[in-house]
Amino acid sequence: MANSREAELDYPLGAALPAPGSSIAVASGVRWVRMKLPFELDHINLWLLRDRLDDVEGWTIVDCGITNEATMAAWEEVFATQLDGLPVLRVVVTHMHPDHMGLAHWLTQRWSHDAHDCRLWISATDYNAARLASASTTSFGGDGVAAHFMRHGLVDPDSIAKVRARRNYYASMVPTVPERFRRLMDGMRLQIGGRDWQCIAGYGHAPEHMALHCADLNALISGDMVLPRISTNVMVIDLEPEADPLTLYLASLERLRSLPAATLVLPSHGRPFVGLQRRIEQLREHHDERFAEVMAACAERPHSAADIVPILFKRALDLHQLTFAMGEAIAHLHGLWMRGRLRRTLGADGVFRFATA
Ligand SMILES: [Zn+2]
């Protein structure tokens, strides 16, 4: 959801955005690249880190963009003009979502040769989730997702038919995943260009998201865990129907709160900003307000997730947005259910409804 208090954040780099195929320096040895996305969220930020690996000078790329001709062409432009003639040495991916993982297969292949393996670095959880999702024709759509949403009260036959028919969603943007990877774990320190970048695991948005913090540069590559303009998507998906991702997400934010106040946050969407603690407070308040709305509704009468959607999202939603909204509504209900503030009952109609405990 849009951040109505974005003005409380600072944008030290101003309004400048990197043109496609170009980049902007944001810190010593760190360059910002922006690629187009064919969604309402129309871009992703990617990062180039000047590196030296196995005595070879070059670059580490953080996140990839989705697989399509336009993104590959933009990358080629970046390679030709932004890397000072040096190679890409490795590809770090913050998490398995298609806009981050999409071109990992192509980038690692493009830069591997006899004398060097350009390796994908990612958490093991997200690596395996990506492989499964890319190989499956039903992830993010299909019968399992339709059944999940019907359980939560989405009964409109047109929407259900569309969810059922949506196949290949992930694989269309991530047709394949590199066959090998190097595992990122929480607390691990990556040496990139002579500086330590520490991995900070985060949960609730992706299976095991890795943010990267460099104390030397006072910079945080926050991935999707902290974004300045929109709240991070947190949803319960059909693979893990009883999950409580919002509690995990909010706990993960707390782990970022202790970073220095002057940290330059490099988010995957929007512009680099300063104000990490302010943004974390905004997100907490945002979800507390949503929790309060859900509690008030469920105190009146039992509500399914589908009943909650128009309370949380006061605007018309297309299918893509509706599936996100359903997932988010379930996440808010589950956060309260797992805390014992709501109880869940399965109606004779096969729909879960939540009432105050
Ligand atoms: Zn994501």
Distance (Å) from CA 56 to ligand 1 centroid: 31
Residue 134 banded pLDDT, cuts 50, 70, 90: very high
Distance (Å) from CA 99 to ligand 1 centroid: 7
- Name the average pLDDT for the chain: 96
Distance (Å) from CA 205 to ligand 1 centroid: 6
Distance (Å) from CA 165 to ligand 1 centroid: 23
Residue 40 banded pLDDT, cuts 50, 70, 90: confident
Rounded average pLDDT over 245-250? 98
Residue 139 banded pLDDT, cuts 50, 70, 90: low
Distance (Å) from CA 235 to ligand 1 centroid: 11
Residue pLDDT, tens place only, 279-290: 999 999 999 999
Tell me the whole-structure pTM to 2 decimals: 0.96
Distance (Å) from CA 147 to ligand 1 centroid: 23
Distance (Å) from CA 206 to ligand 1 centroid: 6
Mapping DSSP onto H, E and C, the string for the chain reads CECCCHHHCECCCCCCCCCCCCCEEEECCEEEEEEECCCCCCEEEEEEEEEEECCEEEEEEECCCCCCHHHHHHHHHHHHHHCCCCCEEEEECCCCCHHHHCCHHHHHHHCCECCECCEEEEEHHHHHHHHHHHHCCCCCCCHHHHHHHHHCCCCCHHHHHHHHHCCCHHHHHCCCCCCCCEEECCCCEEEECCEEEEEEEECCCCCCEEEEEECCCCEEEEECCCCCCECCCCCCCCCCCCCCHHHHHHHHHHHHHCCCCCCEEEECCCCCEECHHHHHHHHHHHHHHHHHHHHHHHHHCCECHHHHHHHHCCCCCCHHHHHHHHHHHHHHHHHHHHCCCEEEEECCCCCEEEEEC
Given a cut of 80, whether residue 137 has pLDDT beyond it is: no
Distance (Å) from CA 163 to ligand 1 centroid: 20
pLDDT of residue 138: 65
Distance (Å) from CA 95 to ligand 1 centroid: 7
